[in-house]
Every structure is written in structure tokens, then in C-alpha cells.
Amino acid sequence: MRTKMRLLGFRGATVKPLNEDAAAELGAELLGEALVFGVGGLCLYLEYLRQAGQSRRREEHLEQTLSDLRQGLEQLQRDLDELRAQGHARGGA
């Protein structure tokens, strides 16, 4: 009961002792609420980790795709330069 009063903001208030049944019921209620909040917080944390992992994998995939496109563009540029060189060699001969 003292814990409940402190949570409600009553400091230094005297609380008469509870009988065993009332104390057990209040303790069980407090424990149940703590368990519900703990499980809820854990679910939120796990969902955050899942979303962060998905975001990281998506970003890595986009970076890999961009890298592949750059390599393909460089290869096309080399091929174009080679074809131009061949065209100049035939045109000049």
C-alpha cells in the first residue's frame, strides 16, 4: 500500500497496515500490472529491432543495386570507347 501511495504522489502519508488477504490481493494486482507493462515494453523493443533490421537490409540491397549499375555503366563506357577507337582506326585507314 505504501508503494501504491508513493506512486500516486503521496509522500510521508501514514498508512495503516493491511490484513494479509488485502495485501496479497494488492501485491498480485501490482505484479500483474508490472508484468503487462513489461511484456508490452518488450514487444515494442522487439518490433523496433525488427524494423531497424528490415531498414538496414533494404538499404544494403539498394547500395548493392547502385554498385551493380555503376559497374555496368563503366563497362558500357569502356565498350563505347573501344568501339569509337575501332571506328577511328577504320576511318583513318
Query: Can you give the pLDDT at residue 22?
Result: 83
The pLDDT tens digits of the residues spanning 12-49 come to 666 677 788 888 888 899 899 999 999 999 999 999 99
**pLDDT, average across residues 60-86:** 96
For the chain, domain boundaries: 17-92
The pLDDT tens digits of the residues spanning 74-84 come to 999 999 999 99
pLDDT bin (cut points 50, 70, 90) of residue 93 is low
Query: Can you give the pLDDT at residue 87?
Result: 87
In the three-class reduction of DSSP (H, G, I as helix; E, B as strand; rest coil), residue 93 is classed as coil
- 28 contacts 54 by C-beta, under 8 angstroms: no
